[in-house]
Amino acid sequence: MVAATPDPQLIRQAAAALRHAQRILVITGAGLSADSGLPTYRGVGGLYNGHTDDGLPIEMALSGPMLRRDPALCWKYIAQLGKACLAGEPNVAHYAIAQLQRRKPECWVLTQNVDGYHRAAGSPVERLIEIHGQFWPLYCQACNAQEAELAVHLDGPLPPLCKACRGVLRPPVTLFQEMLPAEALRTLERQMTLGFDAVLSIGTTASFPYIHEPMLRTRVSGGFTLEINPQATDHSASMDIFLQGRAAHVMPELISHI
Q: Which residues pair with residue 109 across a beta bridge? A: 26, 128
Which residues are CB-neighbours of 140 under 8 A, at least 6 positions away?
146, 147, 162, 164, 165, 167, 168, 169
One-letter amino acid for residue 141 of the chain: Q
One-letter amino acid for residue 182 of the chain: A
249 is catalytic: no
First and final C-alpha spacing in the chain: 20
Which of 118, 132, 212, 249 is flagged as catalytic? 132
| 3-state per-residue secondary structure call for the chain | CEECCCCHHHHHHHHHHHHHCCCEEEEECHHHHHCCCCCCCCCCCCCCECECCCCCEHHHHCEHHHHHHCHHHHHHHHHHHHHHHHHCCCCHHHHHHHHHHHHCCCEEEEECCCCCHHHHHCCCHHHEEECCECCCCEEECCCCCEECCCHHHHCCCCCCECCCCCCEEECCECCECCCCCHHHHHHHHHHHHHCCCEEEEECCCCCCHHHHHHHHHHHHCCCEEEEEECCCCCCHHHCCEEEECCHHHHHHHHHHCC
Residues identified as active-site:
132
